[in-house]
């Protein structure tokens, strides 16, 4: 390939060189469709209870109409006292939460303080608004810090919502119904876990994009307890992981041996020089 | 994003490197940028392209003007002087400079963003021709 005549080094960050090519390839591939990114098509929920926050999520990741991952981890670590559930495009939620966790870690090393949930929300808001919704990440952030227990939701354009109970994802309406019915202020731990489990279960049963197991994460002043899986799906399949068979499993019916005839065409002798 | 309409979205309102079409031997690179047409040359191909190109510049301008309004002219003046001094400690354009002083002044050594992970210039696939790049930087090209 000849050297391209670039006059300045390419800028770091996102590169839009292929955007025009992708737009013109839209309708032209065989099969009609460009490959779709992996979405999580999810049910995620969060509830503030007396001593902290409970976050819950399902574990199915879909790519179009196929289940791509049955044990996907949707509750991401941000800080020891802050966790984040992510719905939307899987790669976007992963990378955004990773960047957020790194930034908060640098901050707490620099200042010697524990990060607060509002800081995480502000960083996310700035980052998502800068990209005008092109990063498809719908996040529920929950944590327990020195100012109390907080639960926020952040939309892909950077909109923020602060409420005591939240759901997001494609199964959010089913889960929200359960939370609206069962939520009381200052719930106990076990009741809160049961409520979130029911909400996610409703999302799994009523939405095709959510399924498999339920993950729960309980965050209190003492720390975080990430229970994965909290409840396993009743519809587990019983697949063998290895398919090796002993010799002799398949019966031999007939045997025919044909010798391969080789004839000598040419013979040369070369002396080795052992001086 | 902008309320000024199409005019400000035109590529010409931003200095874009490219006296000749990008691509090998100076010909139009059809695979990467599509067939050449006036529209392709002028309008950006992705809604975020222009806003990302100018993002850092715009942030700086906004911060400087806020600083000027709050603290008077001397504050941004002094900061600009320091930035200018730090910007002079760099390698020639085709080599990677660490920009340590500039990063420390701007505070971007404490923050990780997409520009630190994606498209790292130190691992760029294309190499610029050193003479041309220096001439372009000096404005001689």
**Do A7 and B139 form a contact (C-beta atoms < 8 A)?**
no
Q: What is the four-CA torsion angle of B61, B62, B65, B69, rounded to 10 degrees?
A: -170
A174, A46 Cβ separation under 8 angstroms: no
List, by residue number, the catalytic residues of A.
Answer: 42
Write down the pLDDT at residue A241: 77
A33 exposure class (CB count in 10 Å sphere: 0-12, 13-18, 19+) = exposed
B85 to chain A, any CB pair closer than 8 A? The answer is no
Which of B37, B43, B49 is the best residue to mutate to test the A interface, defined by the most A CB atoms within 10 Å of its own CB?
B49
| Tally of residues, chain B | 141
Burial of residue B25 (number of CB atoms within 10 Å: 0-12, 13-18, 19+): exposed
φ, ψ at B129 (rounded to 5°): -80, 120
- d(C-alpha B70, C-alpha B57), whole Å: 20
Taking the C-alpha atoms of residue A163 and residue A153, their distance in angstroms, rounded to an integer, is 8
Distances (CA, A) of A107 to A113, A121, B86, B102, B117: 8, 14, 25, 20, 18
Place of tokens 């020089």: A273
Q: Which residues of A touch B24 (CB under 8 A)?
A: 1-4
**Count of H-run helices and E-run strands, chain B:** 8, 0
The pLDDT assigned to A44 comes to 94
Judging contacts by C-beta atoms under 8 Å, the chain B residues touching residue A11 are 53, 115, 119, 121
A-B contacts at Cβ under 8 angstroms: 112
Among partner residues A3, A16, A95, which is closest to B49 by beta-carbon distance?
Answer: A16
Which residues from chain A sit within 8 angstroms of residue B33, using beta carbons? 17, 20-21
The reported pLDDT for the residue numbered B51 is: 84
- Pairwise CA distance, residues A216 & A211, whole Å: 14
Q: What is the pLDDT of residue B18?
A: 44
Report how far residue A51's alpha carbon sits from residue A222's, in angstroms, rounded to the nearest whole number. Answer: 10
- B25 at A interface, C-beta within 8 A: yes
Q: What is the pTM of this model?
A: 0.77
pLDDT score of B35: 61
Per-residue pLDDT reduced to its tens digit, B61-98:
999 999 999 999 999 999 999 999 998 888 888 888 88
A-chain CB neighbours of B110 within 8 Å are 106-107, 110
Residue labelled with tokens 């001439």 = B135
- Whether omega before A198 lies within 30 degrees of 0, making that bond cis, reads no
Q: Which residue among B25, B52, B111 places its CB closest to the CB of A2?
A: B25
pLDDT of residue B135: 84
**Cα of B134 to nearest chain A Cα, Å:** 9
Residue bearing the bigger pLDDT, A172 or B44: A172
Q: Considering CB atoms only, which of B31, B118, B127 is closest to A12? A: B118
Q: Which parts of chain A have pLDDT scores under 70? A: 1-5, 27, 30-36, 39-40
Number of C-beta neighbours around residue B91 at 10 A: 10
């Amino acid at each position: 390939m000849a050297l391209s005549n670039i006059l300045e080094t390419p800028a770091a960050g996102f590169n839009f060189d292929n955007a025009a090519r992708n737009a013109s390839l839209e309708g032209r591939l065989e099969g009609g469709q460009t490959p779709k990114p992996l979405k999580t098509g999810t049910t995620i929920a969060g509830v503030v209870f007396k001593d902290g926050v409970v976050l819950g999520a399902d574990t199915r990741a879909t790519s179009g109409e196929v289940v791509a991952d049955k044990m996907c981890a949707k509750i991401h670590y941000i800080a020891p006292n802050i966790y984040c559930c992510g719905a939307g495009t899987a790669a976007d939620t992963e990378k955004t939460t990773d960047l957020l966790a790194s930034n908060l870690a640098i901050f707490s090393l620099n200042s010697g303080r524990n990060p607060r949930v509002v800081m995480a929300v502000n960083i996310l808001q700035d980052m998502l608004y800068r990209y005008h919704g092109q990063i498809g990440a719908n996040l529920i952030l929950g944590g327990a810090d020195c100012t109390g227990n907080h639960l926020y939701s952040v939309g892909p354009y950077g909109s923020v919502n602060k409420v005591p109970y939240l759901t997001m994802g494609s199964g959010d309406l089913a889960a929200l119904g359960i939370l609206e019915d069962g939520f009381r202020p200052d719930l106990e731990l076990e009741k809160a876990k049961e409520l979130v489990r029911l909400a996610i279960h409703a999302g799994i049963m009523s939405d095709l994009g959510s399924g498999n197991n339920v993950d729960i994460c309980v965050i209190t002043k003492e720390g975080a307890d990430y229970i994965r899986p909290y409840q396993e799906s009743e519809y587990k399949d019983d697949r063998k992981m290895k398919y090796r068979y002993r010799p002799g499993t398949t019966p031999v019916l007939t045997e025919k041996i044909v010798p391969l005839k080789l004839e000598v065409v040419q013979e040369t002798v070369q002396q080795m020089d052992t001086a | 994003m902008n309320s000024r309409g199409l005019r400000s979205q035109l590529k010409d309102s931003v200095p874009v490197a490219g006296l000749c079409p990008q691509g090998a031997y100076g010909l139009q690179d059809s695979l990467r940028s599509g067939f050449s047409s006036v529209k392709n040359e002028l309008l950006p191909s992705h809604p975020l392209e222009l806003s990302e190109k100018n993002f850092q510049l715009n942030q700086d301008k906004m911060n400087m003007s806020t600083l000027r309004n709050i603290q008077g002219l001397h504050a941004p003046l002094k900061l600009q002087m320091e930035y200018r001094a730090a910007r002079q400690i760099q390698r020639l354009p085709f080599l990677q400079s660490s920009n340590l002083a500039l990063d420390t002044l701007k505070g971007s050594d404490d923050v990780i963003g997409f520009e630190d992970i994606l498209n790292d210039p130190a691992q760029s696939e294309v190499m610029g021709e050193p003479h041309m790049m220096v001439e372009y930087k000096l404005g001689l090209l």
